[in-house]
């Protein structure tokens, strides 16, 4: 952001969000790049929605930092896709890790914290690293969709994120899962091969399951628990 540019008020953010309800993703991203410049970051675990946003962002501002939270529990397929995308788009992927390695976490909190207390595990391995990663940023692009889960149903295309004190941009908020896959297929984009094996949402290995055809796309995350979110988007 230009030093002379005033910070957006919450009222202005709501007005911009309303204006963008029918806008193209490119228009939203271009606005974000123009408005926030080097203060803009994106987060991704290289889910299929993130690939769509990266494909478009790479044409506008390819050096925008892509924050990747490397939990130590990620699928090797996810890491392979990350490397492929970095080569394809020359992305500026910035990896952030928890303070404790998985082994250290096991020593301090006991084995399989993800079973006994997944909220604490997510806090240590995702929420805390994200807090550090976003420090100093003015705006954060995330590839969330409203129809992914009840917890995402009311997200704005642009919104004030009080937790991190920055503007959050959800350029795919109005997209459906079909829209995303149509785009990926039409543009022949790479995607996580686990989608071809029955996974519909991909997180950490211990907390991600295949789902039956027709099941809700996020039902394979923290299967058997009440948990719907890791906490970074709450
Ligand atoms: Fe831990 Fe599971 Fe959360 Fe990953 S998704 S940080 S393994 S609880």
Q: How far is the CA of 230 from the centre of ligand 1 (A)?
A: 7
The average pLDDT across 108-134 equals 96
How high does pLDDT run on average in the chain? 93
Atom 5 of ligand 1, nearest CA residue: 204
Q: Categorize the per-residue pLDDT at 218 as very low, low, confident or very high, splitting at 50, 70 and 90.
A: confident
The domains of the chain, with CATH numbers, are 10-207 (3.40.50.620)
Residue 184 has pLDDT above 80, yes or no: yes
Whole-number pLDDT of residue 122: 95
Whole-number pLDDT of residue 233: 78
User: Is residue 138 within 8 Å of residue 40, measured between CB atoms?
Assistant: yes
Q: What atom in ligand 1 is closest to the CA of residue 114?
A: 8
In angstroms, rounded to a whole number, what is the distance separating the alpha carbons of residues 151 and 27? Answer: 26
Reported as type and span, the H/E element at residue 43 is: strand 40-43
In angstroms, rounded to a whole number, what is the distance separating the alpha carbons of residues 160 and 156? Answer: 9
Residue with tokens 């970074």: 232
In angstroms, rounded to a whole number, what is the distance separating the alpha carbons of residues 56 and 121? Answer: 33
Residue 5 has pLDDT above 90, yes or no: no
Q: What atom in ligand 1 is closest to the CA of residue 73?
A: 7
User: Is residue 189 within 8 Å of residue 52, measured between CB atoms?
Assistant: yes
User: Is residue 67 within 8 Å of residue 41, measured between CB atoms?
Assistant: yes
Whole-number pLDDT of residue 150: 86
φ and ψ at residue 204, rounded to 5 degrees: -85, 150
Residues 68-92 as b/e (b if ≥16 CB within 10 A, e otherwise) read: bbbbeebbebbeebbeebeeebebe
Q: What atom in ligand 1 is closest to the CA of residue 125?
A: 6
Whole-number pLDDT of residue 4: 57
Atom 6 of ligand 1, nearest CA residue: 122
User: Is residue 211 within 8 Å of residue 198, measured between CB atoms?
Assistant: yes
Whole-number pLDDT of residue 76: 97
Give the rounded distance of the alpha carbon of 35 from its chain centre: 21
User: Is residue 146 within 8 Å of residue 174, measured between CB atoms?
Assistant: yes
What is the set of active-site residues? 230
In angstroms, rounded to a whole number, what is the distance separating the alpha carbons of residues 173 and 159? Answer: 11
Task: Tell me the pLDDT tens digit for each residue of 66-80.
Answer: 999 999 999 999 999
Six-digit token pair at 205? 């290995």
Whole-number pLDDT of residue 185: 98
Q: Categorize the per-residue pLDDT at 2 as very low, low, confident or very high, splitting at 50, 70 and 90.
A: low
Task: Tell me the pLDDT tens digit for each residue of 131-149.
Answer: 999 999 999 999 999 998 8
The average pLDDT across 88-115 equals 97
Residue 154 has pLDDT above 70, yes or no: yes
Which residues line the pocket of ligand 1, CB cutoff 6 A? Answer: 71, 73, 114, 118, 121-122, 125-126, 203-204, 206-207, 230
Q: How far is the CA of 41 from the centre of ligand 1 (A)?
A: 23
Dihedral sign computed on CA atoms, order 174, 177, 180, 182: negative
**Of 100, 116, 126, whose CA–CA distance to 231 is shortest?**
126
């Amino acid at each position: 952001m230009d030093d002379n540019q005033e910070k957006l008020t919450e009222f202005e953010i709501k007005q911009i969000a309303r204006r963008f309800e029918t806008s193209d993703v490119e228009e939203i991203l271009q606005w974000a790049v123009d408005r926030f410049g080097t203060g803009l970051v994106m987060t991704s675990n290289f889910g299929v929605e993130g690939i769509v946003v990266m494909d478009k962002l790479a044409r506008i501002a390819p050096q925008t930092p892509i924050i990747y939270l490397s939990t130590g529990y990620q699928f090797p397929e996810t890491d392979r896709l990350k490397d492929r995308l970095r080569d394809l788009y020359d992305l500026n992927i910035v990896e952030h890790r928890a303070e404790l390695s998985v082994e250290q976490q096991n020593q301090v909190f006991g084995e399989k914290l993800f079973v006994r207390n997944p909220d604490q595990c997510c806090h240590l391995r995702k929420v805390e690293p994200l807090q550090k990663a976003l420090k100093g940023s003015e705006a954060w692009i995330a590839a969330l969709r409203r129809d992914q889960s009840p917890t995402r149903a009311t997200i704005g295309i642009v919104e004030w994120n009080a937790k991190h004190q920055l503007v959050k941009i959800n350029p795919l908020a109005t997209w459906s899962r079909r829209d995303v896959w149509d785009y990926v297929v039409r543009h022949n984009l790479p995607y996580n091969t686990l989608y071809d094996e029955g996974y519909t949402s991909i997180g950490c290995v211990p907390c991600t399951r295949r789902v039956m055809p027709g099941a809700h796309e996020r039902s394979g995350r923290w299967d058997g628990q009440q948990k719907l979110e890791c906490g970074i988007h709450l």
